[in-house]
Structure 1
Amino acid sequence: MAIDQRVTTVASTDVGWRRKMQARLFAFDFVAVAVALGTAVIIRFGDETDRRVSGLAELSYPQTAVLLGIAWLATIAAFGGYSLRVVAVGSAEYHGLARATWSTFGGIAIFAALFQIQFARGFLLVALPLGLFLLLVGRLAARRMLVRQRERGEWVERALVVGSPVEVRYVVDAMERASIAGYKVVAVATGGTDAEFELADGGMLPEMGLPEDAARSAVISGATAVVVAGQSSSGPTFLRDLGWALEDTDCDLVLASRITDVAGPRIHWQPVDGLPLIAVDMPRYTGVKYLGKRAFDVIVGGLGTLALMPVMLIAALAIKLEDRGPIFYRQERVGVNGDRFRITKFRSMVPDAEAKQAELRARHDGNAILFKLRADPRVTRVGRFIRRYSIDELPQLFDVLRGDMSLVGPRPPLPTEVDLYDQHVHRRLYVKPGITGPWQVGGRSNLTWDESVRKDLYYVENWSITGDLLILVKTVRAVIRGDGAY
């Protein structure tokens, strides 16, 4: 009875936070859509808000905006926008919002063409981009709130991880590194006979016994999700039987596979006579998709250069006044396909910094390949400031416009670093290096070498324009906070 009461309390608590989160998401979306449509009406019509839509039952534009808003929110819901499986994890949430928005306005265009309805184009041209922007900003705010909850150990799924000891250690370690995903491992089931199971970092978790008893173990441990780590060795019907056993519980069944390390967005299910085959698209590094990335770099990079020109002029003046040395620092880096180019940055160190590097390597406190000192004596006073807020990187916008770099991509390495690469790390050179990238928003100089490589390789094989936009937005936040910059 005690166990039943505890599990009932746990389930009601989980349902509570899920409903609160979904209500929060809907509230953010409602405000974003309402503001976008209201702004579009005001900008397009001003005081003439009683204007009618030709051919649409003589509805006024405010009335039409209400109907459009309802359709917009309904489409977001239909595209899974309120599913907590995608919230705060990766870019799927943002892709869904973009698809729902384009589908809504695409449907309006088709509807208008079929029934000869004439919408004011200015109204739609304001509502669409403004609405999508506000939706994305709202989701970023909601994600940040959720992260804060999860940092306090709240609003998480309690997970029971089952599988072989090696796979369980791998999955638990990944879940602890990605706490934003919202899983807190409370127990494991590896078939061990000890009361506790030792993790890769030396920590201990309760050992629940055989994976075949996972459903019962989940109830005992208070888990709300059973995570199957890797390829099960418990027989061909293990997953089917586990799924059936969990049907009458509030537990989710989650499968963890190492294939998603670098191929997540390229995975496709192909059911063949009841056998779920997994097809993985091979990454491509040429073609129309990359022409689109170049166009994105030129347009956004050009606009960014114009907008940030005053900041660059002030930085250049400060550098010159401090020690009368050169303003820019140019250094050979390795670009796409191993081609060499000279990167342009604002000088943040004393003029003879490279000559002093050899004697400082003994004090190196970073990884074995990247040379980074937290308190580098070669950095000037102005240099410390512009490094903290990544102002020293701004001249790389000119490298983007020249075509040597991209706005988003792997970190541009030195030739000496590339010489030390393992074979698989050379895949970082399959795309242009970026001013910012997953390393910039994922920890900057605080990352270990292995973490940097993992993030960059995932980006190289799975990038998208929407993902690039997301990284750019996250970069602004990371730069303002100044975390991991030295």
Structure 2
Amino acid sequence: MLQSKTFKPNSNTYSFLFKLIDLMIILAALPLAAEFYGIWLTSEYVIAGLTVAVAFLYFAETLSFYRSWRHGSFSEMMLIGLASLVLSFFFLTAVAFVLKQSADLSRMTIGLWFAIASLGFLLWRRFALSIQRKLRKSGYNVKKSAIIGATESGERLFREIQANDELGYQFVGFYEDRDSSRVSEQLVPHIKGGFEQALSLVREGEIDTLFIALPLKADQQITDILVKIGDTTVDIHFIPDFFIVNLMHARIIHVGDIDTLTVFESPYYGAKEWLKRTEDLLLGCLILLLIAVPMLFIALGIKLTSKGPVFFKQRRYGLNGEEIRVWKFRSMVVMENDHKVVQATKNDARVTPFGGFLRRTSLDELPQFFNVLKGDMSIVGPRPHAVAHNEEYRGQVPFYMFRHKVKPGITGWAQINGWRGETDTLDKMKKRVEFDLHYLKDWSIWFDIKIIFLTIVKGFVNKNAF
């Protein structure tokens, strides 16, 4: 991998030690499980242990488990760690099945192995956290921090520091040159002075970490601050303003010898594109096997209750704005697919009685799993809008077309948060796009799994679907 000449990756200082202990727990759990069931560890079990260990390291690195968690929550870290472990055992099961070795491995032993490894994993990470907290309460590795700029981005950082003691920051205060009338009322009590006072504290060694939360347009002020404290040892972090943060999917790319910071691009770069496609194919095939019989009954219900075809293929924008044909069960008496598409509304006369049931329960979307297998769509992603609606809103909603940097999805972050159904106002469309962009910015396999789970729990039936 090409090393950045400008930017350095932020990694956990103790990541090697953490990886070593994690692997020791995983490998040690196997003989414990085998001993419990009185099973001799054959070469098949040794290979299984190594397979899980290697798979765990791969998934953990892919999900950024070993990044610095000084800037993250313990619960999120543990969820990602356990997700990596679950995926590793799923991988072992798949490999054993394909190689026809599953009969050589005791399912009870593998299950107990997973349980012991998970428990050991949780206990040791909890122990590490408790030691870390005790050390920080004693004043070890605690950093006195201040924020220059009482801005929206600065406030978000302040809330994170307040909510997560384990981050190890002792907050000193905000420093702002603007009049208090131009600052959020919630931040005014925390403003301790102006920029110069903050710089004086830095030079006196009273601040260990300085966060600069000024907008990009204040580039001259930022330069002046950096020059004035350039002869100190303070840690300096720049927080992009709220406008850029909303768009940023930060990554370092290299153009010759020049490093550039990505503001926005597809989150599926490199191996992540392969991971996303693998997720779609595996889950898509599994779900289609489960829903095949219900789909047959739905098709029969459509034919018996209204005249017309079972399926309806509508024009949509897909990846990079290219036109695709999305499959749906027909729920209306008409087949609208023109440049002017009228969204379904409450008590819409075009919707058949059976079609209304399908739309309220989202069962009309099931044929889109064929689009997933074809590669036009993903299981999780921004919902595809009719081409007519895209052309209408792309000029009204900022960054609307950014949602087409990925394939459209059957379910998405906006839908499970209630932003589905009719978008009869511009504000509703803006909220939907806001959640879509949040999904793109924070995408991960774990995020997809969370959305699928929430869709199963609460996402099928919605009062806004007509």
Normalised-by-shorter TM-score class: 0.5 to 0.7
* Change in 2 beyond 3 A, CA 1:306/1:452: same
TM-score, scaled relative to structure 1: 0.52
Q: C-alpha separation between the residues in 2 aligned to 1:389 and 1:343?
A: 18
Give the secondary-structure state (helix, strand or coil) at the position aligned to 1:264.
coil
Q: Is the 8 A contact 2:247 2:263 kept in 1?
A: no
Call closer, same or farther: CA 1:476–1:103 in 2, change over 3 Å: closer
TM-aligned CA distance change 1:192 to 1:428, over 3 Å: closer
Decide which of 401, 407, 419 is 1:444's aligned counterpart.
Answer: 419
1:193 maps to which residue? 179
Tell me the residue number matched to 2:248. Answer: 263
1:262–1:462 Cα contact (<8 Å) kept: no
Q: What letter is aligned with 1:298?
A: L
d(CA) in 2 for partners of 1:292, 1:319: 36
Distance in 2 between the 1:317 and 1:478 partners? 26
Q: Tell me the residue number matched to 2:334.
A: 352
Partner of residue 296, structure 1 = 279
The amino acid that maps onto 1:440 is: Q
Aligned to 2:71: 85
Q: How does 1:59-138 map to 2 (within 5 A)?
A: 83=69, 85-87=71-73, 95-97=80-82, 122=105, 126=110
Picking from 49, 67, 71, the partner of 2:38 is 49
In the TM superposition, what is the alpha-carbon distance from 1:161 to its structure 2 partner? 6.5
The answer (yes or no) to whether the contact 1:388–1:479 under 8 Å persists in 2 is: no
Letter in 2 for 1:255: I
Alpha-carbon deviations, 1:145-170, whole Å to 9, x = none? xxxxxxxxxxxxxx99652x7xx146
Give a deviation string over 1:108-129, Cα, whole Å, max 9, x none. xxxxxxxxxxxx9736994599
Matched residue SS, 1:445: coil
**How does the TM-score come out when normalised to structure 2?**
0.54
Please give the alpha-carbon distance, in whole angstroms, between the structure 2 residues aligned to 1:380 and 1:88. 50
- Say which is worse superposed, 410-419 or 252-261, in terms of deviation: 252-261
**3-state SS in 2 of match to 1:301:** helix
Which of 370, 377, 380 aligns to 2:348? It is 377
Secondary structure at the residue paired with 2:248?
A: helix
Amino acid across the alignment from 2:178: G
AA aligned to 1:479 is G
> Which digits, 9 at most, give the CA deviation of each residue in 1:207-248, with x for residues without a partner?
63525556999xxxxxxx978354573664469979x9999x
1:99-143 Cα deviation digits (max 9, x unpaired): 67889999xxxxxxxxxxxxx9736994599669989xx9xxxxx
The alpha-carbon deviation at position 254 of structure 1 amounts to: 8.3
Query: What is the DSSP-based 3-state SS (H/G/I as helix, E as strand, rest coil) of the residue aligned with 2:420?
Result: helix
Question: CA separation of 1:439/1:193 partners in 2, compared to 1, >3 Å: closer, same or farther?
Answer: closer
Matched with 2:371 is: 399
User: Counterpart in 2 of 1:426?
Assistant: 401
Matched, 1:210 2:197: no
The SS at the match of 1:343 is: strand
Deviation at 1:396, TM superposition (A): 0.5
- Give how far 1:197 is off: 4.3
The 1-side partners of 2:353 and 2:35 are apart by 51
2:288 to 293, 296, 305: 305
Aligned counterpart in structure 2 of residue 341 of structure 1, from 324, 334, 337 = 324
**Aligned-pair CA distance for 1:302:** 1.0
Q: Is the CA contact 2:214–2:222 (under 8 Å) kept in the aligned structure 1?
A: no
Aligned AA (2:382): P
What is the deviation of 1:351? Answer: 0.9
C-alpha displacement at 1:306, in angstroms? 0.5
For 2:406, give the aligned amino acid. Answer: V
Distance 1:426 1:133 in 2: 44
CA distance in 2, matches of 1:129, 1:376: 55
Q: One-letter code of the match for 1:352?
A: V
Match of 2:213 among 209, 228, 234: 228
- Give the direction of change, closer, same or farther, for the CA distance of 1:430–1:103 in structure 2 (3 Å limit): closer
Q: 1:52 to 1:440 in 2, by over 3 A?
A: same
Distance 1:386 1:171 in 2: 46
Aligned-pair identity in percent equals 26
For this pair of structures, how many residues does the alignment match? 369
CA contact 1:266–1:462 (8 Å) conserved in 2? no
SS, match of residue 417 in structure 1: helix
Give a deviation string over 1:455-484, Cα, whole Å, max 9, x none: 445655775544433433343334167476
> For residue 432 of structure 1, what is the amino acid of its counterpart?
K
Give the AA of the match of 2:366. L
Whether contact under 8 Å (1:262, 1:461) holds in the other structure is: yes
Secondary structure of residue in 2 paired with 1:448: helix
Shift in Å at residue 83 of structure 1?
4.3
The structural deviation recorded for 1:347 is 3.2
One-letter identity of the residue aligned with 1:330: K
Distance in 2 between residues matched to 1:483 and 1:210, nearest whole Å: 50
- 1:179-190 pair list within 5 angstroms: 190=176
Distance across 1 between alignment mates of 2:74 and 2:157? 14
Q: Report the alpha carbon displacement of residue 372 of structure 1 after superposing the two structures with TM.
A: 6.5
| Distance in structure 1 (CA, Å) of the matches to 2:330 and 2:117 | 35
The structural deviation recorded for 1:320 is 4.7
Asked if the contact 2:265–2:405 (Cα under 8 Å) also holds between the matched residues in 1, the reply is no
Indicate how the Cα distance of structure 1 residues 79 and 298 shifts in structure 2: closer, same or farther if over 3 A, else same.
closer
1:5-46 deviation digits (Å, cap 9, x = unpaired): xxxxxxxxxxxxxxxxxxxxxxxxx9xx99xx69x988xx79
Cα pair distance change 1:190/1:81, threshold 3 Å: closer
CA positional deviation for 1:413:
2.5
Ranges in structure 1 where 5+ consecutive residues have no aligned partner? 1-29, 55-59, 107-119, 139-158, 218-224, 270-276, 362-370
Offset at residue 171 of structure 1 (A)? 5.8
